[in-house]
Amino acid sequence: MGILTDPSAGQGKITKAIISYHPKLSILLYISGITWFCFLAYTPLNAGTYFSENALLPGLVKSEFRDDGSAKLFYDELQDEMKKYDNSIPYPWILAKFQQIGLDTYTHNFTLNYPLGKSNTKYNGKNVYGILRAPRAGSTESLVMSVPYRPPTNINPTTAPGVAIMLAFAKHANRQKYWSKDIIFLITEHEQLGIQAWLEAYYHVVCGRRGVLDHGDLRGRGGAIQAAINLEFHDINIDRMDIKVEGLNGQLPNLDLFNLATRMCTKEGISHTFKNRENRNYRDPVKDWNYAFQTLMTMIFTQASGVPNGNHGLYHRFGIQALTLEGFSDRKTTNPGNFLSVGRILESIFRSLNNLLERFHQSYFFYLLPSSDRFISIGLYIPSVCFIAGALFLKACGKWFRLYKYLINLSEMSAEDKRNLELTENANENIKIISICGIFLFTHTIGILLMNSPKLITTVGSQYGYNTELSLYGGFAIIFVLLLMIPVLITIKTCYKSMTVLHVVALLEAATSLICLSMYNFSLGLIVGTFYVPILLLLEPCRCRAYSVIQKLLWFIAHPFVTLTLLVTIYTIFNFPNESFGENVLRGISATQQAVVFAIVDFMIYSNWLYGVITCVMVPNWICFWCVLFSTAKTDAYITIEKKND
Amino acid sequence: MKALLTLLAISSTAAHCTSDSFTEELFIKPLYTEHIYSHFHFSTIWNTDLFSEKFRHTHLFPRALGEIIKRHNVQELHLSLTAGLWRYETWGYPVTSAAPGAELWAWFKSDTEDVNSNWKDLASSLSGLICASFNFIDSSNSVSPQYSFWPNGVINEQKVNSSFLRYSSLPREIVCTENLTPWKKLLPCESKKGLASLLNSGYIHNTRYHSLSIHFRPICRDPKCKFTSIEVQQSVDLVYDYLILGSRNWSVRKLFGQGILGPCPLAKSSTVYVDVSSNSTFPFQLSPEPHEFVYSSRGGYESKFAKYEITEQPLALAANYIDKPSVVINSPPALHANQYLTGYGQELGGIVTKLFNNHWNTLDVVVLQNIPWYVPIYLHTLKILSNGVVLEPLSLKYIPGKLRERPYYLEIVLTLPPRSTTLISINFEHVFLKWTEYPPDASHGFYISSSVISSLLPLARNYTGLPQDATMIVDSFNKSGYGYLVQVRTEAMVVTLPTPDFSMPYNVICLACTVVALAFGPLHNITTKRLVLKPDNKEGLVGKIKQKLDVIKSKLTGTKEKSEDSSSK
């Protein structure tokens, strides 16, 4: 702080350097941040994965699972049962199987009150679960194996083989005496909604908005859940196991669990992939980097959306380490299936988890994966986003020193010069802190109102007969246009000092929120930073009309609402090149509408932060910069003064 | 004179012999689920007065236990060591119920001066006696419940003063062979003869539930209760799983690794009872044929027991099921309960106790919660909801805990509506502990012990408990009474408290030590070595090398150089 408050600071070497070189230094910082990140995928610069938790003892025991025959039998029976239940879980069959196996069997009902629109639409669901009670413990800890059930009418690939192997594993496991943790076998309905409702009921909490998801009650529980494995097996013959880790809001499971899953797949001879990409070793370093970087970027994009890519993602919030094993069949062969090796993978994973004495706490919770056997720890990747945000800090610093120098110059000026200056601009005007605070408060209040507006917008929209998607999109468009008018209301546009302070504060807010964001969800922070920081570095109120218009246009495009619409439309145009342009634009806009609705529903049910971050942080910050762009202060005079003094 | 002394000694022994008795019983009951329950019951009665007995000399009564009782002024003692959880919902009620882990409660005599120190010493002594961690019991985790625990035996005073009662449980305790061995040594025949020889640790630890217990109390010698005796009951409860055993057809050999080879010679009676009431629904054939069938009608329910008197003849008891196994619909007992944690994160949480009343009428219950001090609860958040309706407690006792000194004690008396599910929920806050208070496996979590729900059931369905005046299992046959006391224990819970990264202080220590070491070396050098001014050598590197070369040269050539030197001079 000394450098900012000390009156003699303006004369320091560093200060002078910052004043004169900060634009170039900022760009350098930004580029170095991006380069840093890009180099992380290069194999010698990241680390190989390893087990931190000794208690896991992975793969130490001999696999004993031999029930592949019953898995096959369960699968055939399930296929018959599924024909009778078009749209739901075959409850009686599954309950009967659980009971025959000897598990404590329960069902769980939940209701979703759809939060948008006028009519109170309700959706009901029912999960089934069975608990294997460990003989050596008093139900204080448990593990979960879950399968999202997909009825035949579901468009997604079936998960019935997962149910079959789960039942076979339960049958095998219930005869063993070594379990020290209960195992909960859970079959959920309605994809992520079912698992969210079950977890909320287990912990008796509401995660999203109150009254949206009625989680119901559970009759049986198994104590503190230590880990969960979610199964999505699409075929009885599994050649390839994809391991999915990205969870809600970009949370990841402990790296030890991921390592455990990869090692056990390798042990049983089923090839595993991460982001559907196998590990490849190229001799050529460029090729090697390129392949790893692509894998890394796929992970970054999945993580940034904050939407879990499997049911495992909803466990993470509760401190449960979870991942999804998705099994694919590559060859279209007619061989009878390899339930044996898949069952043994599950057995090995669960026996390792059974060995845990403490909950997962070793290893990494924050990491990026360029392949399934290498990882980038938080210590390595966080500097990149710090550099990117540092560019903004530097720019804010530079602007502040400039303002400071300007004040010094003013005080050192002769009376005559001052009079001349006053003819051209109001240099005597003081910094209006209250106005600046007012703008800040105003924009952020708008952000919070915007975050809470969907319910109102859709209610109003439905009264005029518009559907949810259209009324939300239209409502946001109207609000967006209205917000563009805000600079008209700003009274301090002509004051150079106040506008600079506003600019500095807005820059600081952008940089700080960027760093905070990347602490929680690095991928989102990185993408936002990469996209916004260069534009923010360019923005500089100036008198040149053409440059000013370009800046405003650029910043207009950078509004999240416009960006989303543009991106989705461009994506649509590239994906459907045969359609006419107009058709594609319409299609793009309707896709955007759906994306907006999905984001809001995710926010209300699962409390996905993406919508909240955009409305509460990004939009207010955007408006602040928009106001700064409309500054009409004449800065030429001050530049001449500067030159005179130098 | 010598002869007289010997005679006296013999007569005194003889007096002891007649004044105490030992019985051993084994009770086997196939449960309605895929489990079989076996209960060993050993009881010793000694016709002596607890207040005057010095425990200098004992015959059948375990002297080690007697000395502890005498020393710590104990009136009544109940301890149990349990692994697993008794599943009331599917298994019904056990003969003696016990909380998971270690549980201990004791009444002290009313003339005890400092109950707390006696209690701590008693726990430590017992810890030595049966190799369990009872030494962790002190006043910071013990409570004196007012309603839940009453003296089981004879008491002198009219009014019961619960300040002489202490109750504590250690849910973290892991029960194993090391507890079984000293426990067996308290029996008169140890495990050499009799039913106790069946307790092979290799077999009885492969169960779904096993529990060791010791119950000591003074009892009436006769119905008039003019004199009192002392009694110790030792029992083992085991629940085997047919799935783990491999088949439903069980035999003593399969359960315990050997047949019954004979009675304990010191035992007054040695019997095996097999509950064959379920034989009508699941017919099984016992071999050999029982010596006699005993019928019992109790609390409105009829039971039939096959009785075997153990003789010197070895007994290979086995049961074979006649029909194929079929799935039965479970009918849960009148009262059972669950307990679980709610909430997530490391700030706030909640404890919910769920009580199920399956009886057609109302049930009065007492819920006791002993919540450790590191989980501070807020009484204002206490909510009791029965089928969604707020239920007012009949009585509520609460003593707030103190950090590191006293647990939170909560006892609630409730009338459960007929056929209802009642939720008792209370919120708590996670606290930060001192770094020395974390156990070695800090991330495992901290235990909250199970709550105890006591009630007097009007019916004895699924009930095998002993009435208060019973010493042996046979005493419970045909014993209808006013009510049947059940004490349901819920699950223990693991809560994660904010745990520091313990490797960080270690890293800091390493770093600090390195820095200190680096600083210490030069400082030590400066302070201990004398500083001497060295003549400045300004020749530089080339000069130094030249000098070295010269030295080597001089060594090689010797005197030759000298002459050269002198010549140059």
Bridge-based pairing of strands A141-148 and A224-233 is parallel
Beta-carbon separation of A135 and B208 below 8 A:
yes
Domains of chain A: 2-40+381-645 (no CATH), 64-372 (3.40.630.10)
Q: How far apart are CA A476 and CA A497, in angstroms?
A: 33
Q: How far apart are CA B390 and CA B337, in angstroms?
A: 18
Q: CA separation (Å) from B212 to B105, B170, B215, B285, B439?
A: 14, 14, 10, 30, 26
Beta-carbon separation of B494 and A141 below 8 A:
yes
* Residue B16 pLDDT > 60: no
- The confidence score (pLDDT) of residue A130 equals 95
CATH fold of B335-458 reads Immunoglobulin-like (2.60.40)
The sign of the torsion formed by the CA atoms of A408, A414, A417, A418 equals: positive
Bridge-based pairing of strands A213-214 and A104-113 is antiparallel
Beta-carbon separation of B338 and A221 below 8 A:
yes
**A417–chain B nearest CA distance, Å:** 59
Task: Nearest chain A residue to B349 by CA: give it.
Answer: A203
- The confidence score (pLDDT) of residue B17 equals 47
B501 — pLDDT class (breaks 50, 70, 90): confident
- Looking at residues B88-111, what average pLDDT do you find? 92
Taking the CA atoms of residue A569, residue A572, residue A573 and residue A576 in that order, the dihedral angle to the nearest 10 degrees is -160
**A517–chain B nearest CA distance, Å:** 20
Catalogue the E-assigned strands of A149-277.
182-188, 213-214, 224-233, 240-244, 271-273
**A231–chain B nearest CA distance, Å:** 24
How does pLDDT run across B404-415, given as a tens digit for each residue?
999 999 999 999
Residues 6+ apart with CB under 8 A from A190: A123, A125
Least CB-CB distance to A177: which of B244, B338, B441?
Answer: B244
Beta-carbon separation of B343 and A223 below 8 A:
no
Q: Letter for the amino acid at A560?
A: P
B8 — pLDDT class (breaks 50, 70, 90): very low
- The confidence score (pLDDT) of residue A420 equals 66
* Residue whose C-alpha is closest to residue B474's, from B22, B38, B41: B41
The interface pTM score, or ipTM, of the predicted complex is 0.88
The sign of the torsion formed by the CA atoms of B169, B175, B181, B184 equals: positive
Neighbour-count burial of B438, counting CB atoms closer than 10 A to its CB (0-12 exposed, 13-18 middle, 19+ buried): middle
Beta-carbon separation of B491 and A140 below 8 A:
yes
Contacts of A204 in chain B (CB under 8 A): 342-343, 350, 352
Cis peptide before B288 (omega within 30 of 0): yes
- The confidence score (pLDDT) of residue B1 equals 43
Task: Nearest chain A residue to B447 by CA: give it.
Answer: A140
Q: Over chain B, what is the mean pLDDT?
A: 87
**B2–chain A nearest CA distance, Å:** 59
How does pLDDT run across B155-166, given as a tens digit for each residue?
877 788 899 999
Q: CA separation (Å) from A90 to A79, A86, A97, A162, A305?
A: 10, 9, 11, 14, 34
What does pLDDT average to in each consecutive run of 10 residues of chain A (646 residues)? Answer: 46 79 93 95 92 88 89 93 89 93 92 81 92 90 95 90 94 92 94 94 91 90 94 90 93 95 92 90 91 95 92 94 92 71 94 92 92 93 94 92 81 70 61 87 93 89 85 91 86 80 93 93 94 91 84 91 91 83 87 91 91 93 91 58 46
pTM: 0.89
B472 — pLDDT class (breaks 50, 70, 90): confident
Q: What DSSP character marks residue B95?
A: S
Task: Nearest chain B residue to A179 by CA: give it.
Answer: B208
- The confidence score (pLDDT) of residue A351 equals 95
Mutate to test the interface with B, among A95, A136, A141, A176 (most CBs of B within 10 A): A136
3-state secondary structure of A595: helix
- The confidence score (pLDDT) of residue A333 equals 60
Q: How far apart are CA A474 and CA A457, in angstroms?
A: 9
Q: How far apart are CA B528 and CA B519, in angstroms?
A: 14
Beta-carbon separation of A359 and B445 below 8 A:
yes
Could you write out the DSSP letters of every residue in B196-237?
Answer: GGG--HHHHTSSSEEEEEEEEEEEESSTT-SSEEEEEEEEEE
How does pLDDT run across B167-215, given as a tens digit for each residue?
999 999 988 889 999 999 999 988 888 899 999 988 888 899 999 999 9
Range from A59-73, B49-63, B532-546 carrying the lowest mean pLDDT? B532-546
Could you write out the DSSP letters of every residue in B494-562?
Answer: EE------THHHHHHHHHHHHHHHHHHHHHHHHHHSPP-PPPP--SHHHHHHHHHHHHHHHHHHTHHHH
Range from A506-510, B3-7, B355-359 carrying the lowest mean pLDDT? B3-7
**B175–chain A nearest CA distance, Å:** 10
Residue at token pair 């600081």: A508
Chain A contacts to B (CB-CB under 8 A): 99-100, 102, 104, 133, 135-141, 174-177, 203-205, 220-221, 223-224, 317-319, 357-359, 361
Report whether B116 contacts B139 (CB < 8 A): yes
Task: Nearest chain A residue to B325 by CA: give it.
Answer: A100
Contacts of B499 in chain A (CB under 8 A): 361
Beta-carbon separation of B344 and A317 below 8 A:
yes
- The full set of domain ranges for chain B reads 19-332+459-493, 335-458, 503-528
Quickly list H helices, A88-159.
91-101
Q: How far apart are CA B409 and CA B149, in angstroms?
A: 14
Q: How far apart are CA B186 and CA B22, in angstroms?
A: 12
**B494–chain A nearest CA distance, Å:** 6
Beta-carbon separation of A318 and B344 below 8 A:
yes
Which comes out higher in pLDDT, residue B441 or A76? A76
Tell me, yes or no, if B442 comes closer than 8 A to chain A by beta carbon.
yes
